[in-house]
């Protein structure tokens, strides 16, 4: 599915004005009667320092424009399609982790200024490239066939020195080890997975109406059976 077709299904034909520059996209759209800002990446983007700064700049631009114009804070929709951080020693030496931290701070500022945050995973959502902005949203939805993971099991095996066979065995029993949107749904990391046959513009409107400035993912993970200890442990700590 090309970008224009996807945008038409998400927002409705003629209800979006989005610009793509390389792997980065931004613009405005409407969800029902609500104006929204749109920021994101496309074509399995590897997030480097340049793209990271574009994402952060776009978020700050929305916050600044709404505040200066005296307008109610618009929701921000993140379109996430990223293979993760750029695997480059050059980028690491430039401090790519700092660029990602800058995105996180900008997204947090938007939330504190009253902007509701909604993420739509449109392809891949991998590792730090997704964590820095997509996973920061108030509500996270995935399109059909989306791929979500923190680390490939083979790479995890090399880092942890746990055999690939053992990790594959653990992945069958625990979504914490297993890649895939369904496993992140079980853990509460993704709120919804939409169907190919569904009306995505209606799904967008419903998701936006449920985007709340609270983090209920641990409770959802407990309810869905994907994370059994996170919510109870947090409650014990909070009440101690």
Strand positions, DSSP E, the chain: 16-21, 24-31, 34-41, 45-47, 76-85, 117-126, 139-142, 147-149, 192-193
Check whether 1 has a pLDDT greater than 80. no
Quick one: CA dihedral 171, 177, 182, 185, positive or negative? positive
Mean pLDDT across the chain: 94
pLDDT tens-digit readout, 225-240:
999 999 999 999 999 8
Look at residue 154 in the predicted model and tell me its pLDDT. Answer: 84
177-190 pLDDT per residue, tens? 788 899 999 999 99
CATH superfamily to which 3-214 belongs: 2-enoyl-CoA Hydratase; Chain A, domain 1 (3.90.226.10)
Question: Where do the structural domains in the chain lie, given as residue ranges?
Answer: 3-214
Is this prediction's pTM over 0.85? yes
- d(C-alpha 196, C-alpha 50), whole Å: 33
Q: What is the pLDDT, as a whole number, of residue 174?
A: 83
CA-angle at 4, arms to 180 and 103, nearest 5°: 55
Q: How far is Cα 28 from Cα 227, in angstroms, rounded to an integer?
A: 36
CA-based end-to-end distance of the chain: 51
pLDDT on residue 179: 82
How would DSSP label each residue in 93-111? HTTHHHHHHHHHHHHHHHH
User: pLDDT tens for residues 131-176?
Assistant: 999 999 999 999 999 999 887 788 889 989 999 999 999 888 888 7
């Amino acid at each position: 599915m090309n970008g224009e077709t996807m945008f038409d299904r998400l927002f409705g034909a003629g209800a979006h004005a989005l610009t793509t520059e390389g792997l980065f996209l931004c613009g405005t759209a409407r969800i029902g009667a609500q104006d929204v800002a749109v920021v994101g990446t496309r074509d399995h983007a590897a997030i480097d320092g340049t793209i990271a700064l574009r994402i952060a700049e776009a978020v700050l631009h929305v916050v600044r424009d709404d505040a200066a114009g005296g307008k109610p804070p618009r929701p921000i929709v993140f379109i996430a399609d990223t293979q993760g951080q750029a695997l480059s020693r050059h980028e690491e030496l430039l401090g790519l982790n700092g660029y990602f931290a800058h995105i996180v701070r900008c997204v947090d500022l938007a939330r504190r200024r009253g902007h509701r945050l909604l993420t739509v995973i449109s392809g891949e959502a991998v590792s730090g490239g997704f964590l820095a902005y997509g996973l920061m949203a108030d509500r996270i939805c995935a399109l059909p066939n989306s791929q979500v993971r923190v680390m490939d099991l083979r790479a995890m095996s090399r880092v942890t020195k746990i055999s690939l066979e053992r990790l594959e065995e653990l992945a069958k029993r625990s979504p914490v080890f297993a890649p895939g949107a369904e496993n992140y749904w079980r853990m509460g990391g993704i709120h919804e997975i939409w169907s190919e046959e569904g009306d995505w513009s209606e799904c967008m409107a419903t998701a936006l109406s449920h985007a709340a400035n609270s983090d209920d993912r641990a409770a959802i993970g407990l309810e869905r059976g994907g994370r059994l200890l996170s919510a109870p442990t947090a409650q014990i700590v909070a009440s101690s």
